[in-house]
Chains A and B, each alone.
Chain A
Amino acid sequence: GAVVSQHPSRVICKSGTSVKIECRSLDFQATTMFWYRQFPKQSLMLMATSNEGSKATYEQGVEKDKFLINHASLTLSTLTVTSAHPEDSSFYICSAPHKQGSYEQYFGPGTRLTVT
C-alpha cells in the first residue's frame, strides 16, 4: 500500500511554544492531504484539508491562525500548532489519497503531542 510518513512521532513541548509536524507521501504525489486529530477514546476528527499551492480549508471550529498548514510541494504538508496549550495535547494524523481522484486514503503513523 501507499506510504505516508510523519515526523516527529512524539513531541513534548511547553505551553506557549509552537510545534511543527511534517507529513510526507513517500512513493506518490499528493495534491491534497488531510489533517486529523484524535483525543483518547474518541474517533478521528478532520481538522483541515491541505491543498498544494493554495490555502488550506479548515473545518468548522478549527482555528486557522492556531493550526497553520503549509503544503509547499506535492509530497509534503506541514501542520504547525502555534502557542500550544495542554488542551492541544492529542494524536495528530495526516492522510493522503494514493491516486488522484481516489477515494481511498492512507494514513501516516501519527504524531503524539503532549503540551506541559
Chain B
Amino acid sequence: QKEVEQNSGPLSVPEGAIASLNCTYSDRVSQSFFWYRQYSGKSPELIMSIYSNGDKEDGRFTAQLNKASQYVSLLIRDSQPSDSATYLCAVDFTGGGNKLTFGTGTQLKVEL
C-alpha cells in the first residue's frame, strides 16, 4: 500500500524563525507532490506544488524534493502566528490522475 508519512508534531517555532516540515513517501515513481495548509475546522488550502528534484520558492515558502530519497519538505521562513495550522503533504501516486494520498499532517505552532 502506498503511503505518505509525516510527523504529527506539534512542531513549535518562535515567531520569525524557519519552520521545517518533512514528508516521506513510499513509491519511487511518484511525480507530483503538494503541500496543503489546513486550519482547524477548515478545508485544505494549496500552498505549493513541486514536480522536479530541487527547490521551489514562493514567497516565504520553499518546497524541496528529493526523489532518490523519497522525501519532500516545506520550509517556512519568517514564521508568523498566522502560519499556525496543520500542514498536509499529498502525493499523486497514479501519475497524473489527480488522485491524492495525504499524510496525516504536521501541526505547526508559531509562538510569540
Contacts and interface: CB of A to CB of B under 8 A. Distances in A.
Partners in one complex: yes
Interface of A: 1, 32, 34, 42-46, 49, 91, 93, 97, 101-110
Contacts of A42: 104
Interface residues of B, number: 21
A43 B102 contact: yes
A43 B46 CA distance: 15
B99 interface: yes
Interface of B: 32, 34, 36, 42-46, 49, 51, 88, 92, 96, 98-105
Given A103-B92, A104-B34, A46 B42 contact: no
A101 B100 CA distance: 14
Given A103-B51, A110-B42, A110-B43, A44 B99 contact: no
Contacts of A45: 102
B64 to A, nearest CB: 18
B49 A44 contact: no
Contacts of B44: 44, 93, 107
A34 B104 contact: no
Nearest to B44: A107
